[in-house]
Amino acid sequence: MTCNQAGIAAGAVGFLFSLGVFLIALSRQNGLVAALACLAAWLQLMIVIATAGDAMSDRQAGKSRSISAILLVAFLVLAYAAASRWS
């Protein structure tokens, strides 16, 4: 698996996870987590678009996009856990 494929896969999985957290946070009426999940989903989508653009122009993306996608998911997990504990 190339760096472009790994970046696209990590961003796509992260986007779907962020979207799921957004929907769950909305159903539980947790506005702060929903807002963070919405921003994270937008950033994950930008990672996918940028990496796909690199793949189409035959450039190799760095591993930093995959790492960024994973860190965004970890941030969302921590934010959701903290919000669940405090509410």
What are the pLDDT digits (tens) for 28-74? 988 889 999 999 999 999 988 988 888 888 888 777 888 888 898 99
pLDDT of residue 13: 92
All residues at 6 or more sequence positions from 21 whose CB lies less than 8 Å from its CB, including other chains: 33, 37, 40, 76, 80
Quick check: 23 pLDDT over 90? yes
Picking from 71, 86, 74, the residue whose alpha carbon sits closest to that of residue 21 is 74
- What pLDDT shows up at residue 42? 93
Q: Which two tokens stand for residue 50?
A: 């940028």
Q: What's the whole-number mean pLDDT along residues 14-39?
A: 91
Tell me: pLDDT of 83 over 90: no
Instruction: Report the alpha-carbon angle 26-28-30, nearest 5.
Output: 65
How far lies 13's CA from each of 29, 33, 64, 72, in Å? Answer: 24, 19, 16, 11
- In whole angstroms, what is the distance from residue 20 CA to residue 37 CA? 9
At residue 87, does pLDDT exceed 90?
no
